[in-house]
Amino acid sequence: MRRRRWPVADPNTTPYVGRAMKRIEDPRLIRGEGTYTDDLRLPGMVHAAILRSPHAHARIRKIDTTAAKAIPGVVAVLTGADVNASCGLVPCAAAIPDLKAPKHTVLAGDRVYFVGHAVAVAVASDPYIARDAIEAIDVDYDPLPVVTNAEDAVKIGSPLTHPDLGSNVAYTHNVSGGGNIDEAFRKADRIVKHRLYHQRLTPMPIEPRGVVASYHTGEGTLTLWTATQIPHLIRTLLPGMIGVPENKMRIVAPEVGGGFGAKLNVYPEEALIAHLAMRLHTPVKWIESRRDNAAATIHGRDQVGEYEVAVKNDGTILGLKSKTIADLGSYLQLLTPAVPTLTGLVLTGCYTIPAVKMEIVGVYTNKMATDAYRGAGRPEATYLIERLMDVVAQELKIDRLDLRLKHFPAPGDFPFPTSCGLVYDSGNYAAALTKAKQLANWDQLLKDRAAARAAGKLSGIGVSTYVEICAMGPSKAMPAGGWEWGCVRMEISAKVTVITGVSPHGQGQETTFAQIVADRVGVPIEDVVILHGDTSVAHYGRDTYGSRGTAVGGTAIVMCIDKMIAKAKTLAAHLFETTSDHVVFENGRFTSPGVTNRVITWPELAGEFYVAKNLPPGLEPGLEASSFFEPQNFTFPFGTHICAVDLDRDTGHVKITKYVAVDDCGPQINPLIVEGQVQGGIAHSIGQVLFEQTIYNEDGQLVTGEFMDYAIPRAHDIPDYILGSTVTPSPINPLGVKGVGEAGTIGATPAIANAVMDALEPLGITHMNLPMTPEKVWQAIKTKT
Amino acid sequence: MPMPFHIHVTVNKADQHHDVEPRLLLVHYLRDVCGLTGTHVGCETSLCGACTVLVDGKAVKSCTMFAVQADGSSVTTIEGLATNGQLHAVQQGFWECHGLQCGFCTPGMIMTSVALLARNAAPSREQIAEGLRGNLCRCTGYSHIIDAVNHAAKAVARG
Amino acid sequence: MFPAHFDYVRPATVEEAVKLLAKHGDDAKLLTGGHSLIPAMKLRLARPQVVVDIGRIANLSYIRETGGAIAIGAMTTHADIEASKTLRDKSPLLAETASHIGDAQVRNKGTIGGSLVHADPAADYPASILALDAEIDVVGPRGKRTIKAVDFFVDLLQSAVAADEIVTEIRVPATAKTVAYVKTEQKASGFALAGAAVVIGPGGVRVGITGVAATAYRAAGVEKALAGQTSLTPDLIARASAQAAAGVDALGDIHASPEFRAHLAQVNTRRAIEKALTRA
Amino acid sequence: MKLTLSSTVPADPSRVFAALTDPEVLRRTIPGCETLTATGPDAYEATLKIGVAGLKGTYTGKAAITDQRPPERLTLSFEGKGGPGFVRGSAAITLTADGDATRVDCAADVHVGGLIAAIGSRLVDAAARKLADDFFRQIGSALP
């Protein structure tokens, strides 16, 4: 039976860290008082609507905007010819050698390359009229040949997505590591081959994207509110597009209604709407429709690969070869070509695999760009290694858990260098597996499956033991700096203002950071305010993605606190008439045992710092510290997920009957929030394994452009979870935390898929592409019975 | 240009009189005319439920209703749920149980849940899940949302 | 998200509404619950010049017994049908079917008349309307007429209701408890990939199928196979249900192939019959 | 999208062929045709209001008849666009005498794009069939 694992903590009990506290951000959100981008109303604000291509590939012969301009209330109707020269090129930050990249303008030039490609923009006094206006724009298209399948796109004679590039291949990326791969394959008793497909997915945050821009002509300053995960990266990259210098640009991420990677980007609309505000001298708002969100916000995954595992008959894995074709879509967004290469980084999963070789071919097609979607590269890698472990176990007829255990590094092997070139920070993979088995009541689960099978039912159990890469990351491994910045200021009133460079949008860092700060500074949690998401407040930052917020951003704040306390001790020592090394700081109180009985508290000390009448020589007034934290490595959370399913033979319907997840993200600041992240992540996997898929037809038409045709999980799709954790601190940061934002999605996809395949195994079915829809399951059963 | 239509709507117990274009959707009326931006828009096909409000006590999707259709009705939005600053039991439940992450679907989730509990004061987890069929959330994975509604039901039962 | 302009009229009576439809012809659309029309208008797939809102016409929302039948006003919402004690007691199939439509919010606004006239090939009601052999009253410039369920669903999104007519009442017969509606939903939209409605009564078994073809239909093959049978054995039910999509041109799309839809029609027919029998 | 349709028109092939190439007949028989003007030999411009039920859109476009081999076959190519998207394609139409009537076989390759392709994929194929069926029925009844 299900029970609440985390009684909500009494807010007056300390320490705060480690306890399930209610979120500080919630009261405004549950009252409907949060301000999302679409909630902004500025004086004189006008509304933009974007006309998008209905063709996947076409030459634009002519655009006639006359009728649109004549509609009362229309302020402007502009095309690529009008704006592209002022908006620069949409940036890609990924550094891939020999990358062939098309020029990506904010509106189409003389061609469109995918359905949803922005062709023209209309600005009007209200959004209804703007919509009327784009409908009145007449575009004369000359359709061109289309390629929508990446495997077809690399064949000779395929239509070219960008004829000027001469090929659909954007890049070929080779990773090899560890020992000699050819030797590994020579020594193998057996080569196990498998083909795996990661379908295209649409992230579908419930809030679509949106941008509001306001330009102060006199000052030459631009303020841009945008539904983004990365206000700081936009502030770094947008100046190069629109010509407003970085220090005259303020980017604000207000409340952001979900990201999942879809808002980890610099989009054409951000430059376009900024440009319109400058050009029209009035604030401009653009809010994406769901249909446009499905068509013109990044997609995820879309990789297909052939994999070969070299094994000995006793199950020892000698090597792994893979060839992956990654469908990039028609353009490079911020990290498009980098995402498939992340797959290569954790290809070996949590196993000792002595030699690896991976080839990744990034391919252009007439579709929306793919980019980082929840997990970005790690779900792909985890799915393939975890499916392969099951396939190997099945072919060799050895127990799949034994096979996994045999290849786990031991706890003493950490830091553990992998053949993919990473060094895993810490781990105890067997402990997580053991705990998951306990929680799942593993032996009973096997008995239940046997009984179900004996009764003619299709029942399966899936396991996934995963490791992922979080806390992104060391700057030398990141495209544009992986550090994080923070600032902690004690105000004269002894209230604590914390400014972070991460940009949470649901992850709850206003709460978790306040827990950390309140404990370390020794103040009540209600005296702590966390500010974020506004580059005029948080001057520097690298924002929120890659499960980095707490591990990297939280650490920057811890560093600030340490500096602030050190400074406070200097003043306390001065007031105690002693030296800093004789000052003890504990629970918000400064004392100097053996020197004086006096106790100095924060209010007194803060007052002294700002009144500044009694500071020792050389000590600056004010009590504030800022820090940049540069992580020396990534962190590597891990865990075990176990899933049991029953299949309906007649309808192909998959029912999840049990779901157990044990995740080790290091020490948990707030277990309630960790639980929420894991549950949310698993839901994405339920969608991916069982029904979600972005479909373009052979003409390149997007046929999953609305929630009518693109299914995301609903409440009744969710099983009761049994969640657990182990705690293996990371040595990479002083909090020991690893990150948990993507763990659910990384661990769950293979667990669920393996469960379905396990259910089908008695029928001799060994392969099925994702998603494992009822029809596919039914077809598979039908062909075998 | 069609004639504007005069409507009188009671929104969160306050009388509102406006001339509106027939094509103005109720959700835009609430957000842009009444200034109540707590009601959100997440799709255009009546599936996501972020725009759910109560019209004459019934949960409806305000993006699939013209403002003119609400003429003479009483509308409750998320902003009208708390009384005298006191959170509604469902709001409290969402807070206690971490029933929200980004918060964008939350107003609609809460309004649907309020109507659900009005129909069924002690729903099972399955009934809650079924009752929330018309509300999509991409963050939470729903489990905590079901906890939240359950929590609210129990709190109301305790009085 | 932003519909095109239209003129809005709100007649107080059916007669007035009929006159408005006659006056505006093809340019007018009736607005009932709005759950088909408004999304289409927001996407500008539909752009009527005139919207005739019949939501305020008195006495079009009711559920009452009349003789051996239950009469339902055309503007009765799915939620009211789902909750109706009269229907649950006397003719439970329609109430069960209503509970499968969309979601709670949709059921609060959507009306049976609006749904039927829209004739969506994957809507839930048509299967039950057919299985119940319902009658539908319409009023138009030529007066009132009654359409039998079997004549009602003409083609894809086309009912037998003329553009200048308004549905006023749906009548379903009182039935035994041995009825059921079993549906496989399209995962994203919740519409039926295949829904089977079954009424088992003294006169035999009637089966309506929705979601499979361009219009809902009576599964004549199933009905024939079960006609005159006194004992509905599992084997007989299975054999009869195999006829659920016989001779039908099944639709295919990204959500289900024609083959799978036809198969689901068979499975759901069998399950609906079995379920109905458990209610005896 | 490939569509194959067959229909029987109660007239002999030469009359059916003549009807299929007569702008006046076409204007009356193409479902939702509002205007149809010849722009050259066997080339037309047309405005159609088509769709199903209330989901109608207005399309403007061009059509041309090629590969004529009276009275056996012809190819109709067309392209149109409107608010909800675009339609383009070609239809190879074959006429075969079938007693007093003509069997019309139509093999069409239709591409639709924009909203009509994105929304309700389920409906597009069925709607196209219905429109074609209506057309041939109209042709049948338009013949004297």
Q: How far is residue A310's CA from residue A395's CA, in Å, rounded to a whole number?
A: 12
pLDDT of residue D85: 86
pLDDT of residue A785: 80
Mean of pLDDT values over B87-116: 98
The H or E element containing residue C81 is helix C78-83
Chain A residues close to C1, C-beta within 8 Å: 127, 131, 289
DSSP C4: P
> Is the torsion defined by CA of A539, A544, A545, A546 positive or negative?
positive
Mutate to test the interface with B, among C103, C111, C189 (most CBs of B within 10 A): C103
Q: Give the percent of chain A with pLDDT over 90.
A: 95
Q: Kindly indicate the confidence band of residue A427, based on its pLDDT and cuts at 50, 70 and 90.
A: very high
B77 close to A (CB below 8 A)? yes
Instruction: Show Cβ contacts of residue B115 under 8 Å, excluding neighbours closer than 6 positions.
Output: B54, B57, B58, B59, C104
The CATH architecture that domain C7-53 belongs to is 2-Layer Sandwich (3.30)
**A699, pLDDT greater than 70:** yes
Chain D residues close to C121, C-beta within 8 Å: 122, 126
pLDDT of residue D48: 85
Q: Kindly indicate the confidence band of residue D130, based on its pLDDT and cuts at 50, 70 and 90.
A: confident
Contacts with B, A 23-62, CB within 8 Å: 23, 25-27, 29-36, 38-39
3-class DSSP state of A307: strand
**CATH class held by domain A483-629:** alpha beta
Mutate to test the interface with D, among A138, A146, A291, A699 (most CBs of D within 10 A): A699
Pick the CATH number of D2-142 from 3.20.20.105, 3.60.40.10, 3.30.530.20, 3.90.1150.10: 3.30.530.20
CA distance C2 to chain A (A): 5
C179-278 placed in CATH 3.40.640.10: no
Domain ranges of chain C: 7-53, 63-173, 179-278
Q: Are C9 and C22 in contact (CB under 8 A)?
A: no
CA distance D112 to chain C (A): 14
Instruction: Show Cβ contacts of residue A574 under 8 Å, excluding neighbours closer than 6 positions.
Output: A614, A615, A616, A619
pLDDT of residue A596: 96
Instruction: Show Cβ contacts of residue C94 under 8 Å, excluding neighbours closer than 6 positions.
Output: C72, C81, C87, C125, C128, C129, C132, C172
CA distance A434 to chain B (A): 25
**C45, pLDDT greater than 90:** no
Q: How far is residue A531's CA from residue B36's CA, in Å, rounded to a whole number?
A: 25
Name the closest residue on chain D to residue A55, using Cα atoms: D113
Q: Kindly indicate the confidence band of residue D120, based on its pLDDT and cuts at 50, 70 and 90.
A: low
- Rounded to the nearest integer, the mean pLDDT of chain A is 96
- Token pair 């929120």 is found at A544
Say which residue, D113 or A646, is predicted with more confidence: A646
pLDDT of residue A672: 96
CA distance C254 to chain A (A): 8
CA distance D61 to chain A (A): 11
Mean of pLDDT values over C233-248: 97
Q: How far is residue A280's CA from residue A552's CA, in Å, rounded to a whole number?
A: 40
Instruction: Show Cβ contacts of residue C223 under 8 Å, excluding neighbours closer than 6 positions.
Output: C204, C205, C206, C207
- Out of C37, C46, C156, the one facing D123 most closely (by C-beta) is C156
Say which residue, A375 or C237, is predicted with more confidence: C237
CB contact under 8 A, C45 and D53: no
CB contact under 8 A, B46 and C190: no
pLDDT of residue A5: 52
Domain ranges of chain A: 44-144+209-287, 300-473+633-784, 483-629
Say which residue, D139 or A372, is predicted with more confidence: A372
**Max CA separation in chain D (angstroms):** 43
Question: Residue D66's CB: how many other CB atoms inside 10 A?
Answer: 11
Mean of pLDDT values over A553-574: 97
C184 close to A (CB below 8 A)? yes
DSSP A317-330: EEEEEEEEEEEEES
Among the ranges given (A108-112, A209-213, A743-747, D111-115), the one the predictor scored with the smallest mean pLDDT: D111-115
CB contact under 8 A, D115 and A54: yes
Instruction: Show Cβ contacts of residue B88 under 8 Å, excluding neighbours closer than 6 positions.
Output: B81, B82, B110, B114
Mean of pLDDT values over D54-70: 85
3-class DSSP state of A711: coil
Name the closest residue on chain C to residue D128, using Cα atoms: C156
Peptide bond into D71 cis (omega under 30): yes
Among the ranges given (A380-394, A673-687, C51-65, D80-94), the one the predictor scored with the smallest mean pLDDT: D80-94
The interface predicted TM-score (ipTM) is 0.96
**A650, pLDDT greater than 60:** yes
Q: Which fold has domain B5-80?
A: Ubiquitin-like (UB roll) (3.10.20)
CB contact under 8 A, C188 and A710: yes
Picking from A180, A193, A194, A113, the residue whose alpha carbon sits closest to that of residue A146 is: A113
- Token pair 């949960």 is found at B59
Mutate to test the interface with B, among A8, A23, A30 (most CBs of B within 10 A): A30
D119 close to C (CB below 8 A)? yes
Q: How far is residue A37's CA from residue A28's CA, in Å, rounded to a whole number?
A: 15
CA distance A144 to chain C (A): 24
Q: What size, in residues, is chain C?
A: 280
CA distance A278 to chain C (A): 26
C63-173 placed in CATH 3.30.465.10: yes
> For B46-60, how does the pLDDT look when each residue is reduced to its tens digit (9 = 90+)?
999 999 999 999 999
**D2, pLDDT greater than 90:** no
pLDDT of residue A3: 42
**C168, pLDDT greater than 60:** yes
The H or E element containing residue B2 is none
Mean of pLDDT values over A621-628: 97
CB contact under 8 A, C8 and B52: no
pLDDT of residue D121: 59
The CATH number of the domain covering residues in A44-144+209-287: 3.90.1170.50
Q: Give the percent of chain B with pLDDT over 70.
A: 100
Contacts with C, D 18-57, CB within 8 Å: 51-57
A291 close to B (CB below 8 A)? yes
Pick the CATH number of B89-158 from 3.40.50.10490, 1.10.150.120, 3.40.1160.10, 1.10.3430.10: 1.10.150.120
Instruction: Show Cβ contacts of residue B68 under 8 Å, excluding neighbours closer than 6 positions.
Output: B5, B7, B20, B22, B24, C8, C10, C53
Picking from D119, D112, D62, the residue whose alpha carbon sits closest to that of residue D87 is: D112
pLDDT of residue D42: 87
Q: Kindly indicate the confidence band of residue D119, based on its pLDDT and cuts at 50, 70 and 90.
A: low
**C84, pLDDT greater than 90:** yes
Q: Kindly indicate the confidence band of residue D20, based on its pLDDT and cuts at 50, 70 and 90.
A: confident
The CATH number of the domain covering residues in A300-473+633-784: 3.30.365.10
**A4, pLDDT greater than 50:** no
Mean of pLDDT values over C43-51: 91
Domain ranges of chain B: 5-80, 89-158
- Rounded to the nearest integer, the mean pLDDT of chain D is 85
> How many C×D Cβ pairs under 8 Å?
52
pLDDT of residue D128: 77
Domain ranges of chain D: 2-142
CB contact under 8 A, A205 and B21: no
Mean of pLDDT values over D29-50: 87
**A732, pLDDT greater than 60:** yes
3-class DSSP state of D14: helix
Mutate to test the interface with A, among C187, C193, C260 (most CBs of A within 10 A): C187
DSSP B45: S
Mean of pLDDT values over D25-31: 85
Among the ranges given (A141-145, A268-272, C208-212, D28-32), the one the predictor scored with the smallest mean pLDDT: D28-32
